[in-house]
């Protein structure tokens, strides 16, 4: 019922055997110091066993052009499918020695499980982010990460979406607008107000 969610490709690998891919929408950053994220994975999934076995995974952020590959990795199992080959994705070694990164994804996070919460249908893996890889094209002239350029994929209640218009920026609601700029371009959207189309 949360809308929208990110959707990511999680690569995991057991002590033996090839790496696998899992589509995950129940993920999020949960702490900045130390940098931690979480993924909630259904117990009994093939990937669940791999995650428990080694405690290592990578989170790879797909673009809208990878939507078919993302769906495929979320409806097939690594138990009987080489998802990398079938989805046309390329494993590349990361720098932390864990499972591979997905080369086609512009952002990759190498993670190590720090806590495991067995919640019921899902296990919540809380993991430290050990390495971050970002495609060079996403760093702007000032060295800022311009993630909005990446065209990342979103998941909304059973459907895949590209994000829409930008409506504001951090803190814009309390920033004073320069005099004479209160016209259409500078108009903020107030809570409860429906933005015009
Ligand atoms: C868009 C999408 C999001 C998903 N999100 C999750 C998730 O957050 N957690 C989860 O356990 N499974 C999720 N799934 C289901 C798994 O990706 C799916 O069961 C997958 O086939 C398991 O692969 P495996 O057997 O190789 O581990 C999602 C599937 C899709 C299509």
Note whether residue 189 is domain-resident: no
Q: For residue 173, is it within any domain? A: no
Burial classification of residue 105, based on how many CB atoms lie within 10 Å of its CB (0-12 exposed, 13-18 middle, 19 or more buried) = buried
Largest CA distance in the chain: 65
Question: Which of 38, 59, 74 has most ligand 1 atoms within 8 Å of its beta carbon, as the pocket-test mutant?
Answer: 74
Residue closest via CA to ligand 1's atom 25 equals 77
What is the whole-number distance in angstroms between the Cα of residue 142 and the centre of ligand 1?
A: 37
**Do residues 108 and 133 lie in contact, with contact meaning Cβ atoms separated by under 8 Å?**
yes
Peptide bond into 34 cis (omega under 30): yes
Please check whether residue 184 lies inside any domain of the structure.
no
Residues 6+ apart with CB under 8 A from 103: 89, 90, 91, 92
Query: Which residue's C-alpha comes closest to atom 4 of ligand 1?
Result: 24
Which structural domain, as residue segments, surrounds residue 74? 5-162
Does 178 map to a domain?
Answer: no
3-class SS of residue 9? strand
Of the candidates 61, 42, 47, which has an alpha carbon nearest to the alpha carbon of residue 129? 61
pTM of the model: 0.91
Tell how far the Cα of 136 is from the centroid of ligand 1, in angstroms: 29
Half-sphere exposure of 197 (CA within 13 A, CB side): 0
Would residue 169 count as lying in a domain?
Answer: no
Cβ proximity of 137 and 151 under 8 Å:
no
What is the rounded CA–CA span in Å between residue 27 and residue 107? 15
Domain total of the chain: 1
Residue 11 counted as domain residue: yes
pLDDT in 10s for each residue of the chain, 197 residues: 899 999 999 999 999 999 999 999 999 999 999 999 999 999 999 999 999 999 999 999 999 999 999 999 999 999 999 999 999 999 999 998 899 999 999 999 999 999 999 999 999 999 999 999 999 999 999 999 999 999 999 999 999 999 989 999 999 999 987 776 554 444 444 444 444 44
In whole angstroms, what is the distance from residue 99 CA to residue 82 CA? 15
**Does residue 194 form part of some domain?**
no
**CATH number for position 81:** 2.30.110.10
For residue 106, is it within any domain? yes
Question: Could you tell me the strand order of the sheet in which 56-61 lies?
Answer: 20-24, 8-12, 56-61, 107-118, 122-134, 36-42, 27-31
Q: What residues are in contact with ligand 1 under a 6 Å CB criterion?
A: 7, 20, 22-26, 40-42, 45-47, 71, 74-79, 155
């Amino acid at each position: 019922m949360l809308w929208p969610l990110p959707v990511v490709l999680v690569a995991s690998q057991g002590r033996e055997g090839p790496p696998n891919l899992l589509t995950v929408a129940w993920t999020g950053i949960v702490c900045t110091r130390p940098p931690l994220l979480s993924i909630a994975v259904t117990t009994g999934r093939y990937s669940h066993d791999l995650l428990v076995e080694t405690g290592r995974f990578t989170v790879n952020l797909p673009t809208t052009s990878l939507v078919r590959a993302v769906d495929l990795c979320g409806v097939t199992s690594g138990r009987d499918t080489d998802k990398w080959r079938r989805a046309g994705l390329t494993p590349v070694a990361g720098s932390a020695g864990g499972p591979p990164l997905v080369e086609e994804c512009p952002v990759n996070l190498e993670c190590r499980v720090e806590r495991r919460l067995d919640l019921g249908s899902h296990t919540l893996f809380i993991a430290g982010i050990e390495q971050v890889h970002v495609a060079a094209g996403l760093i702007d002239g000032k060295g800022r990460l311009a993630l909005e350029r990446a065209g990342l994929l979103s998941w909304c209640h059973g459907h895949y979406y590209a994000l829409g218009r930008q409506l504001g920026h951090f803190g814009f609601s309390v920033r004073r607008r320069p005099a004479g700029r209160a016209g259409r371009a500078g108009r903020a959207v107030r809570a409860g107000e429906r933005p015009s189309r």
